[in-house]
Chain A
């Protein structure tokens, strides 16, 4: 079974530029998560999708971050414009999302973003 795929693995941009990250979850997984992990901290949930609907985006800085999961499969996270404090690893995870079932999360390798 293929795992969660993410691209790119690394990205370096100047502040005020735009960047986009892509995630393809495990086949059949209904729930998709985007996390931001700053060095030395725990992953911070940015947005959670159930199929193509948003379940939780309470910590997404909506003035600069956006995410979509149009067909309920793969997803894109965008930052526009980027700030220095956005430097972090962006992790995508998926879970089966079965109603009433335990939902262990499977993580992709992450995208390391450096904003100069």
Chain B
């Protein structure tokens, strides 16, 4: 079952922050985050494992609440290069590679 992402789209000015949410109705083992720029393939950002782990990647970080089957992606001090569509991907419930499914995406536009 496809996870739900919110918001569907967001527009920011450079330097502003954003949060993208991903939620699932099923138990999860891990959550992936990918970014896809227009006309390009998705690029991996990070994986979060069940256990409530929080990870960071430059000014992009994420958290995973296993009990709520929810993950959030945090973009701080956004840059023009952050523009694109962000997809979460979920798998589980017991291990990697099980029932992998992408969400519908959140379109992020960063303006100068």
Contact = CB atoms under 8 A, between A and B. Distances in A.
A55 B99 CA distance: 9
A25 interface: no
Q: Among A33, A104, A109, which residue has the most Cβ atoms of chain B within 10 A? A: A104
Given A41-B105, A107-B43, A102 B87 contact: no
A107 B41 contact: yes
Counting chain B residues whose Cβ lies within 8 A of the other chain, the interface size class is: 20 to 34
Interface string A84-103: 00000001000101001111
B96 A103 contact: yes
Contacts, number: 54
Contacts of A42: 2, 87, 102-105
A106 interface: yes
B95 interface: yes
Contact of A102 (B2, B49, B99): B49
B27 interface: no
